[in-house]
Amino acid sequence: MISRLLARPWIAIAGLALAASASGLGNGFVYDDVPIILQNPVIRHVESIGRIWGSAYWPAGLLYRPLTTQLFAAEWAVGGGRRVVFHVVSVLLMMLVAVLFWRLARRILPAAPALAAAAFFAVHPVHAESVANVVGQAELLATALTLFVIERYLVWRERGPLVLGHRVALAALTLAAIFSKETGYVIPPLLLAAEVFLVRRGDSWRSRFGALGPVLLLQGAAVITAVLVRIIVLGPTPGAGPAVAIRDLAPARRIVGMLSVVPEWARLLVWPVHLQAEYGPPDLAVTAPFSLPHALGIALLAAALALLMCAWRRAPVIAFGLAWVGLALFPVSNVLTTTGVILAERTLFLPSAGAMFVLGGLFAVWQPWLGRRGSMLRPVVLTLLGALVLAAVVRSSERQLVWREQAGFIRRLETDAPTTYRAQLVASNYYSETGRYPPAERAAANAYRLFKGDPQVFEQYGQTLRAQGRCAEALPVLEDGVRRFPDRTVARSRLIECSLATGDTTRALSVAGEGVRLGLSEFSGTLKRLGPYASRMRAPDPR
């Protein structure tokens, strides 16, 4: 049996992916699954399926991923909404992605390094979120198509310039990847990187780019088509919008701030022992002054660039892997445009493929030295690699269980990310919605203590106090929120309500009047409602 598996490495790779993911088959619909699947009527009714290609992915209408939504609709139709069907598809997709990675790795690496890289990719713990949470199928589908496009390009390119049929097929696959998730937009630059680093070196640059030009022409047509369709459906919206923590940062300040995220990217790609579902300040110093994390980010970027330049000629797979990581991270780096997250493990799914190509390239460089006859290090290295793969399987399996059900997910989120304000805020919102105000207050107080650059922190903390009849304690929190974010209506409304509840009509009138002066017209009605109070305040004392 073992020899049969070794004779067919793709079976072993698929088995490793299954071993790392199977514990998530009993998971429910958690976190983003709720609005995108459970509360999405488009996927739950057969008569609505035709609306998928004319609808947004998120209820807020900011993302367009019709192919992923179509897949959700098919899963709902097959299983009648049973969660196990969705999770079976997620695991099968992970197995498919692992096998596609193996196919591409085997094309650019010797057998043993390719097998090692594919094994680590199949069990990488940072993939757990994309597999355990159903909405991660967007990542799985887009990455599968990306790997297949690059592999097919290299296969067809070995025969010379691609024929028209092959160019059209690659463009169609790119369009499908983009309609799965926006990461599909990186396929054209990845094709360029494959041509530069991997295609045979005997041809002149002119002939190589002459062969690539027609491919990129159709790739550009696919990208333009995707952009135009999205604009037609959603309008000229910029996307998911910036994460609240970086929304008000100037572009230069935002870029500097994102340098502090680079070390966390590196840690998650290389040594993902600790994982959490939410990342942000103050744990990530994106809004803090330049400090050690920013300097470390610059150092890591410089080291990666230097390694790429050194490996360009001597170890092209390493250079290609580094280019893959950079290209795959760029759309979520908040450098050129902003995104809705500062860092999320699911956004590292595609970059992790590049990181594992780098690992495979390093193994290929070291293989001749390790393979010397009589070398005592070879069994030690093989044992160590096997132990690391086993440890990754265990870690991935354990992490899958975090998404078992909503309450457990929230509890784990609090403990995994105690110094990330966003994690505490999400937990407080959940506890408030379920009527559990003491834990809601605890989590909201933590968020308020950690970070004051998000208006929702003040709104949520003030509301948890107000809901418990403690408006006197809520007043300073809400006042702080109104002072920092005067254009926000939620904190202002709750400040007015708490002022009235404590008998401070003067404050309520002042806060409402200030809102009207700022152009918040909704507070005009508040002033009218408070008119009788104002009249009594102005009336002379009859004595």
CATH number at residue 502: 1.25.40.10
> Do 265 and 382 share a domain, yes or no?
yes
pLDDT attached to residue 540:
45
pLDDT of residue 539: 43
Cα 95 from Cα 306, distance rounded (Å) = 34
Supply the pTM of this predicted model: 0.93
Would you say residue 408 lies in a domain?
A: no
Residue with the bigger pLDDT between 123 and 3: it is 123
The verdict on 468 and 371 lying in the same domain is: no
**Share above pLDDT 70 across residues of the chain, in percent, rounded to a whole number:** 93
Residue 17 located in a structural domain: yes
Q: What is the mean pLDDT of residues 188-196?
A: 96
Tell whether 433 and 390 lie within a shared domain. Answer: no
Instruction: State whether 117 and 79 are in the same domain.
Output: yes
Q: 535 or 168: which carries more pLDDT confidence?
A: 168
Q: Which of 402, 430, 461 is the last residue of a domain?
A: 402
Indicate the average pLDDT of the chain: 91
One domain, residues 230 and 168: yes
**Among the listed ranges 42-51, 93-102, 169-178, 223-232, which one has the minimum average pLDDT value?**
42-51
How does pLDDT run across 301-355, given as a tens digit for each residue? 999 999 999 999 899 999 999 999 999 999 999 998 888 899 999 999 999 999 9
Give the per-residue pLDDT at 15: 96
- Answer with the residue of higher pLDDT: 4 or 150: 150
Percent of the chain with pLDDT over 90: 75
- Same domain? For 463 and 382 the reply is no
Is residue 159 a part of any domain in this protein?
yes
DSSP state, 540? P
Could you tell me if residue 412 is inside a domain? Answer: no
Number of domains observed in the structure of the chain: 2
Between CA 180 and CA 272, with CA 301 as vertex, the angle to 5 degrees is: 60
Banded model confidence at residue 446, pLDDT cuts 50, 70, 90: very high
Q: For residue 537, what pLDDT is reported? A: 45
* Vertex 93 angle, CA 92 and 94, to 5°: 90
Q: Are residues 385 and 473 in the same domain?
A: no
Please indicate, yes or no, whether residues 466 and 385 belong to a single structural domain of this protein: no
Sign of CA dihedral 431, 432, 435, 441: positive
Q: Is residue 12 part of a domain?
A: yes
The arithmetic mean of pLDDT across residues 121-142, rounded, is: 97
382 and 474 both lie in a single domain: no
What tokens does 211 get? 């062969």
Inside any domain, residue 508: yes
Asked if residue 317 lies in contact with residue 308, where contact means CB atoms within 8 angstroms, the answer is no
Q: Is residue 411 part of a domain?
A: no
Same domain, 109 and 208: yes
Single out the residue in 370, 402, 434 at which a domain terminates: 402
Whether the predicted pLDDT of 1 surpasses 50: no
The secondary structure of residue 541, as a DSSP letter, is P
Residue 293's closest CA among 318, 259, 251, 248? 259
What range defines the domain where residue 434 resides? 420-538
Mean pLDDT, to the nearest integer, of 282-300? 95
Phi and psi at residue 282, in whole multiples of 5°? -80, -5
Residues 10, 158 within the same domain? yes
Residue 162: CB atoms within 10 A of its CB come to 20
Confidence tier at 6 by pLDDT (50, 70, 90): low
Q: Indicate the angle between helix axes 164-180 and 187-197, nearest 10 degrees.
A: 130
Give how far Cα 213 sits from Cα of 142, 191, 192, 206, 217, Å: 24, 11, 10, 10, 6
The whole-number pLDDT of residue 338 equals: 84
* 3-state helix/strand/coil string of 280-334: CCECCCCCCCCCHHHHHHHHHHHHHHHHHHHHHHHCHHHHHHHHHHHHHHHHHCC
Residue of higher predicted confidence among 52 and 187: 187
Q: Find out whether the peptide bond into 282 is cis, omega within 30 degrees of 0.
A: yes
Identify which of 53-67, 143-157, 242-256 has the greatest average pLDDT: 143-157
Cα–Cα distance between 19 and 12 in angstroms, integer?
A: 10
The answer to whether 26 and 408 have CB atoms below 8 angstroms apart is no
CB 361, CB 311: distance < 8 Å: yes
Q: Indicate the range of 56-65, 76-85, 104-113, 194-203 predicted with least confidence.
A: 56-65
> What is the tens place of the pLDDT at every residue in 482-531?
999 999 899 999 999 999 999 888 888 899 989 889 998 888 888 888 77
179-183 average pLDDT score: 95
Q: Is residue 396 domain-shared with residue 429, that is, in the same domain?
A: no
pLDDT of residue 91: 98
